[in-house]
Each structure stands twice: as structure tokens, then as C-alpha cells.
Amino acid sequence: PLLPTTVTHAWIKLVRRTGLKPIRLHDARHTHATILLKLGVHPRIVQERLGHSSIQITLDTYSHVVPGLQEAAAARFDQAFTTRYNQQRTEASRQNVGSLSAILEVMSNKYQN
């Protein structure tokens, strides 16, 4: 059977062989979760990878990692509406230019006759 102490001892040997300064296996686990969250991986996925019983544990433990989530969500929401608004404005401008051209053409024809 794979015992926690066996894994820990194997980890210590591996770290020593690399010549890196000592790092606990738990630190590697924490680093893994931190990097995933900073990369934008959904907290539910991180929770599952860590084996936390609830997402609340993950969020409570790593909330300092993702302080900008609210700002990022607001920015993405704003971007969605801004993009749609700009598309509508562009289309309206095209229609207005078309209408203005038609009016100018009619007026031009009227005054030329």
C-alpha cells in the first residue's frame, strides 16, 4: 500500500537529488493550487484536484490568490455589453449614412431639374 510516509520520504529524496532548497510536499500542493487559480482555472476544478470536501474550503484557503475575481468578472461583463453596443452603433451608422445618401440624391435631383 502507498502510505503517506512513503510518499513523503520519496519526495524528500527527489528534492535532494535536484539540488533545490528543501520544500515540503504540502508546499508543492499549495503551489500547484495557487498556479492553477492564477491561470484562471475554475475553483471547482482546483477543489476536485486537491480533494477538498467542499469548494468553500478551497475558496477560504486560496481567496488571497484571486482577489481580482470580482473586477475581472465586471470587466468581462462590461466588455460583452460594450462590444454589442458598438456593433449596434456601427450598424445604425451604416443605415444613417445610407438614408442620408438617399436624401441627398433626391434633393440633388430635385434642384437639377
Check residue 79 and give left, alpha or beta (phi > 0: left; psi -120 to 50: alpha).
Answer: alpha
- In eight-state DSSP terms, residue 64 is G
Residue 31 has pLDDT above 60, yes or no: yes
Q: For residue 78, what pLDDT band results from cuts at 50, 70 and 90?
A: confident
Contact 62, 31 (CB under 8 A): no
pTM of the model: 0.57
Percent of the chain residues topping a pLDDT of 90 = 44
Q: Where are the domains of the chain?
A: 1-67, 68-113
Quote the CA–CA distance of 12 and 80 in Å, as a whole number: 49
User: Mean pLDDT, to the nearest integer, of 40-56?
Assistant: 95
